[in-house]
Amino acid sequence: MARVLLFGRLADVAGWRERTIEAASLSALRTALATADPGLGEALAGPSVQAAVDKALVRGDAALTPASEVAFLPPMSGG
Amino acid sequence: MARVLLFGRLADVAGWRERTIEAASLSALRTALATADPGLGEALAGPSVQAAVDKALVRGDAALTPASEVAFLPPMSGG
Amino acid sequence: MAVVLQSQPFDPGQLLGGFCPNRRETGAVASFTGLARAEHGAALTLELEAYPGFTDAAIEAMAAGAAKRFDLQDWLIVHRTGPIAPGEAIVFVATAAGHRRAAFEACDHLMDWLKSRAPFWKKEHGPDGARWIEPTDHDRRDAARWDDPFFDTPAERAAQDD
Amino acid sequence: MAVVLQSQPFDPGQLLGGFCPNRRETGAVASFTGLARAEHGAALTLELEAYPGFTDAAIEAMAAGAAKRFDLQDWLIVHRTGPIAPGEAIVFVATAAGHRRAAFEACDHLMDWLKSRAPFWKKEHGPDGARWIEPTDHDRRDAARWDDPFFDTPAERAAQDD
């Protein structure tokens, strides 16, 4: 279980911004998202998309708990 | 005749800021000022002191009329 | 020293007016205000998305580093989120220092970082639909000017580049 | 586009607040506010002398040149004269441009010029008497960064210097 947040163009691709999804790890979550929506799976796999777990950037895999918040972040553009 | 204005430390040296002085040219004015007050004459002769006649900077000599305004400007320091 | 993310419009004058008073040893306050351009009708609305708790923490950490690097006495960053109309302010940065070079360079540096690396997502709604805006190569180069820890200023860095 | 010399105190916030609104194609407004420092008690009052009609004309001519060079959409310069207490604003410069690099560089350039070449005379009154302040070597070097017509930016000039 994890609260999943999509930002920027990722939310447009998926058609949603926030969902609760069953997954024990970040890699399992990516697989579940790609299975349900291959277009989103491809968008998430891009090298410029970063993942944050509980508001900290994560490279590679990470374990998730039911309280985890996972955010997928496309390239940032401030100001 | 000319209206003479002193700025910055020149006014401190002379003890005045504005006077009307009889002089047909800028060089004659410098001589008159130095004769009346050698300390001021020395301060005005410094290479960093500029002269303006009718609000335009002048190098060398210039003729003066009774309506002329002559300003002596020590090194400038804005802002 | 504060970061504010807000969806309500703000007045840059009011922010600068609140930032300047009661400073006895500040010689220099630099400010930057980024405004939404109409792009001659091509941009109807700008929409900015932030990740609350993540975006403000990232800005705070970056600004604290810049404050140390440039020996700032104070700084303020206010950033709009949500839909923004042409002419409205998007971002306001103010920096206070003893002397002007530090205030200018810190403000410039903070803006370069905010433009290309701050966690915001920006969508431009125009007459032909909406598009996401990502940092330009120029924005990335501007931000990279400040990366090398061996060089303190853009001028020194540029001197080394050639 | 205006130069104002005034003996009354001014509020930089009010000036920026008046400068920013009603711009549809301005992406960037940079501002600089110079404040009088107390110098930890060494400076009780700063006294600034201008030559009305000459000082404002020189600033106007310089700013018009900078506006052309940096393609500014607008600018405002307000400068105090007379006695100024610590913490009060001495000078305010605002520049408006399409993009931030031009607004920052123009503001920086105008301030460098104002600090070392504008026709003002500055006296600092402290507990041990008064002294005239002239531009430092550092001020002169800052202003000289912009002199060479072959180089458009301080970075390019610095790249050439070494």
Q: What is the pTM of this model?
A: 0.88
| ipTM of the modeled complex | 0.88
Those residues whose C-beta lies under 8 Å from the C-beta of residue C16, and which sit 6 or more positions away, are C29, C31, C92, C94, D12, D13, D16, D17, D31, D33
Contact C35, D28 (CB under 8 A): yes
Please list every residue in chain A whose beta carbon sits closer than 8 Å to the beta carbon of residue C134: 75, 77
Domains along chain B with CATH numbers: 2-73 (3.10.20.30)
Tokens of B17: 């800021």
Q: Contact A8/C113, CB-based, under 8 Å?
A: no
Sort strands B69-73 and B2-6 into parallel, antiparallel or unpaired.
parallel
Residue D158 forms part of a structural domain = no
In this complex, which of D14, D27, D103 lies closest to C13 when CB atoms are compared?
D14
pLDDT at position D159, please? 39
Contact D33, D10 (CB under 8 A): no
Residue D87 forms part of a structural domain = yes
Residue D162 forms part of a structural domain = no
* Number of Cβ pairs < 8 A linking chain A and chain C: 61
Residue C83's domain comprises: 2-144
Task: Go through chain A and tell me how many residues it has.
Answer: 79
Distance CA A70, CA D3 (A): 54
For residue range A34-63, list pLDDT tens digits in order: 999 999 999 999 888 999 999 999 999 999
Residue C61 forms part of a structural domain = yes
Chain A contact for C115 (CB, 8 A cutoff): yes
Residue C154 forms part of a structural domain = no
Residue C62 forms part of a structural domain = yes
The enclosing domain of C95 has a CATH number of: 3.90.1170.40
Residue D157 forms part of a structural domain = no
Q: Is C83 helix (H, G, I), strand (E, B) or coil?
A: strand
Interface present between A and C (3 or more CB pairs within 8 Å): yes
Please list every residue in chain A whose beta carbon sits closer than 8 Å to the beta carbon of residue C54: 52, 55, 71
Residue D95 forms part of a structural domain = yes
Mean pLDDT along residues C22-40: 95
For residue range B34-78, list pLDDT tens digits in order: 999 999 999 999 888 999 999 999 999 999 999 999 999 998 876
Count of domains forming chain D: 1
| Torsion sign (Cα): B51, B56, B60, B61 | negative
Q: Confidence band (pLDDT; 50, 70, 90) for C143?
A: confident
pLDDT of C43 above 90: no
In this complex, which of D14, D100, D111 lies closest to C111 when CB atoms are compared?
D100
Q: What percent of chain D has pLDDT over 90?
A: 75
For residue range D46-62, list pLDDT tens digits in order: 999 999 999 999 999 99
In this complex, which of C54, C118, C132 lies closest to A78 when CB atoms are compared?
C118
Residues 69-128 on C with a CB inside 8 Å of D are 86-87, 89, 98, 100-101, 103-104, 107-108, 111, 115
In this complex, which of A55, A71, A77 lies closest to C122 when CB atoms are compared?
A77
